[in-house]
Amino acid sequence: MNILATLALLLQLPAVALLLARLVRGPFRQPPLQPERTTPDLLGSVSVVVPTLNEAARIGPCLDGLSHQGYEVREILVVDSRSEDGTPGLVKQQGERDRRFRLITDEPLPPGWVGRPWALHTGFQQMDSGSDWFLGIDADTQPQPGLVPSLVKAAELQELDLLSLSPRFILRSPGEFWLQPALLMTLVYRFGAAGEVASQPERAMANGQCFLCRRSLLVKLDGYRSARGSFCDDVTLARQAALSGARVGFLDGSQVLKVRMYEGMRETWEEWGRSLDLKDASSRSQLYADLYFLTAVQALPFLMTGLFGFGLASSTIYPTPTILTALGLNAALVAIRVALLAAVAGSYDFTQSAQRQGGWLFWLSPLADPLAVLRIALSAGRRPRQWRGRQYGGFDGI
The answer to whether residues 120 and 39 belong to one domain is yes
pLDDT of residue 262: 92
The answer to whether residues 265 and 310 belong to one domain is no
- Mean of pLDDT values over 6-31: 91
- Residue 389's pLDDT band, with cuts at 50, 70 and 90, is low
Q: pTM, whole model, 2 decimals?
A: 0.92
- Residue 296's pLDDT band, with cuts at 50, 70 and 90, is very high
**Gap between the Cα atoms of 374 and 369, Å rounded:** 8
Enclosing domain of residue 87: 31-167+207-281
| pLDDT surpasses 90 at 66 | yes
pLDDT of residue 213: 98
Among 281, 314, 342, identify where a domain stops.
281
| pLDDT surpasses 90 at 93 | yes
Which CATH number do you get for residue 276?
3.90.550.10
**Would 333 be classed as within a structural domain?**
yes
Per-residue pLDDT tens over the stretch 127-158: 999 999 999 999 999 999 999 999 999 999 99
**Would 192 be classed as within a structural domain?**
no
**Gap between the Cα atoms of 382 and 232, Å rounded:** 14
**Would 180 be classed as within a structural domain?**
no
pLDDT of residue 397: 37
| pLDDT surpasses 50 at 395 | no
Number of domains in the chain: 2
Per-residue pLDDT tens over the stretch 151-182: 999 999 999 999 999 999 999 999 999 999 99
The answer to whether residues 14 and 36 belong to one domain is no
pLDDT of residue 27: 78
Which stretch of 15-19, 112-116, 196-200, 283-287 has the lowest confidence by average pLDDT? Answer: 196-200
The answer to whether residues 13 and 82 belong to one domain is no
The answer to whether residues 360 and 299 belong to one domain is yes
The answer to whether residues 254 and 154 belong to one domain is yes
**Gap between the Cα atoms of 297 and 110, Å rounded:** 41
**Would 187 be classed as within a structural domain?**
no
Mean pLDDT of the chain: 92
Per-residue pLDDT tens over the stretch 191-231: 988 888 888 899 899 999 999 999 999 999 999 999 999 99
